[in-house]
């Protein structure tokens, strides 16, 4: 039987699936494969994550400790710190970080390290899938030559594909199972086998012509969001200039049943994907001699939003005869989005750092984030929300559970960047983005 035939049989039954990287993407993926009946081996360089998985202690909000304990104790999911653990795996999925460098250029060093590691154990009959967000061409230019260096032929001996992760942390409506899975294999056999793998955990698999297309799909999805968020952020500035409410404008526009999709303004972009992914695309395009103007302009607008929020708060204090220096400011929410603990690239961190640099006395409360570091200094979340003890309350993340009516009633003034206080009486106290 051919390697493809053997792998096809394994994927249809109880395959061994290896997952490299047990973070926000890798751990939920490992859990999903384990729940599908596969035996899953996770590999991570962080010994704390390895010990946490093996102990059944979840460090990801989208994975419950109860679920992880059941899978770990039943032997369905284990974690290791060495790549040798995956030598007998039928499929190896790479879910490592892809950050930006100091000059905002793509940093694919984690992908290279993972590819080099897999190359030391690759054997006939294995499927390797890259899920890490990256520029078009990475799978073929970075992974393929390293894996073929051992004398194996892609599409005949081993199989290679790209499938973009689409996880939305904290979203309980659209889960890993519900979100269609785009897959791009390097050859027809690769495409068939990667579709079989993900059919175990996804209700719908969407095959595309190749890895480059799948890589571009992910970048386009997040660039689409970035550009439209930039548009509505600029709209917020324009509306304030004209004395209008951007929230009312967008809400009314959203009643159009075709040709419109609502996006909402905010204090800036956050999370791992949106601030970074468009740069992967623009970098690749510049190498090809094309300047992506929409991406550049959208980035300029989105990156200025934290500064705009600081100015909005400064004006609110000035109108009440107060300076920022010495003002007591209570920030509500520092996670990049509501109801999660993720502070990666959260605009709240930059806003707090700017306010502290101006001499403000800043405290914060976030039920999901007990501690942060801003400008090298540690801050801990307030034990309770006491708006009356501060000169201004700044809403940066609209977590569920806050009593917005009580906050508006007690605070001298509220600067609301998320429209969290919509419908609350005493609108004169509230300054919205």
Annotated catalytic residues are 273
Residue with tokens 């039954």: 13
In sign, the C-alpha dihedral spanning 154, 156, 160, 163 is positive
Could you give phi then psi for residue 357, rounded to 5 degrees? -65, -25
Give the sign of the dihedral formed by CA 106, CA 110, CA 114, CA 119: positive
Judge contact between 229 and 302, C-beta under 8 A.
yes
**Cβ(33)–Cβ(201) below 8 Å:** yes
How many CB atoms within 10 Å of residue 390? 22
Q: Strand ranges (DSSP E) for 65-186?
A: 77-80, 91-94, 127-130, 159-162, 181-185
CB-CB neighbours of 123 under 10 Å: 13
Contact 207, 217 (CB under 8 A): no
CA distance 290 to 281: 11
Place of tokens 């061994």: 16
What is the side-by-side order of every strand in the sheet holding 77-80?
A: 77-80, 39-43, 16-20, 91-94, 127-130, 159-162, 181-185, 205-208
Tell me the three state secondary structure of residue 77.
strand
> What end-to-end distance do the CA atoms of the chain give, in Å?
64
User: Taking the CB of residue 28, how many other CB atoms lie within 10 A of it?
Assistant: 25
Q: Quickly tell me which residue has 């967000």 as its tokens.
A: 133
CA distances from 16 to 56, 68, 119, 193 (A): 19, 18, 18, 14
Cα gap 295→216, rounded to integer Å:
14
Handedness of CA 195, 201, 205, 207 (dihedral sign): negative
Residue 388 CA to its chain's centroid (Å): 35
Contact predicate 345/269, CB 8 Å: yes
């Amino acid at each position: 039987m051919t390697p493809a035939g053997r792998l096809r049989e394994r994927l249809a039954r109880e395959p061994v699936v290896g997952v490299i990287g047990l973070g926000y993407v890798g751990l939920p993926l490992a859990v999903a494969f384990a729940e599908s009946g596969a035996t899953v081996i996770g590999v991570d360089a962080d010994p704390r994550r390895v010990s946490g998985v093996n102990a059944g202690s979840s460090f990801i909000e989208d994975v419950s400790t109860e679920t992880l304990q059941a899978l770990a104790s039943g032997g369905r999911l284990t974690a290791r710190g060495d790549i040798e653990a995956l030598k007998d795996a039928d499929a190896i999925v790479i879910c490592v970080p892809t950050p930006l460098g100091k000059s905002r250029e793509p940093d694919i060093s984690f992908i290279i390290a993972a590819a080099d590691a897999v190359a030391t154990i690759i054997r006939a009959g294995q499927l390797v899938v890259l899920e890490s967000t990256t520029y078009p061409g990475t799978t073929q230019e970075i992974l393929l030559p390293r894996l073929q260096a051992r004398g194996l032929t892609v599409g005949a001996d081993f199989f290679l594909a790209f499938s973009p992760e689409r996880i939305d942390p904290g979203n309980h409506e659209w889960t890993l199972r519900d979100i269609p899975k785009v897959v791009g294999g390097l050859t027809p056999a690769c495409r068939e086998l990667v579709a079989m793998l993900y059919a175990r955990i996804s209700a719908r698999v969407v095959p595309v012509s190749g890895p480059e297309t799948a890589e571009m799909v992910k970048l386009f999805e997040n660039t689409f969001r970035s550009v439209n968020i930039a548009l509505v952020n600029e709209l917020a500035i324009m509306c304030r200039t004209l004395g209008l409410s951007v929230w009312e404008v967008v809400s009314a526009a959203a009643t159009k049943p075709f040709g419109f999709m609502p996006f909402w303004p905010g204090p800036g972009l956050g999370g791992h994907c949106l601030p970074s992914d468009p740069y992967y695309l623009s970098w690749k395009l510049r190498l090809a001699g094309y300047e992506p103007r929409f991406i550049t302009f959208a980035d300029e607008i989105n990156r200025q939003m934290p500064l705009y929020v600081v100015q909005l708060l400064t004006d609110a204090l000035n109108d009440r005869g107060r300076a920022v220096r010495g003002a007591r400011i209570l920030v509500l929410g520092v996670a990049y989005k509501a109801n999660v603990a993720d502070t990666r690239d959260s605009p709240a961190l930059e806003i707090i750092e700017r306010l502290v640099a101006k001499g403000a006395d800043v405290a914060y409360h976030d039920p999901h984030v007990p501690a942060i570091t801003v400008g090298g200094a540690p801050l801990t979340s307030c034990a309770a929300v006491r708006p009356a003890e501060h000169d201004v309350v700044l809403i940066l993340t609209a977590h569920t559970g806050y009593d917005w009516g009580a906050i508006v009633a007690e605070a001298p003034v509220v600067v609301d960047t998320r429209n969290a206080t919509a419908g609350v009486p005493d609108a004169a106290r509230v300054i919205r983005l």
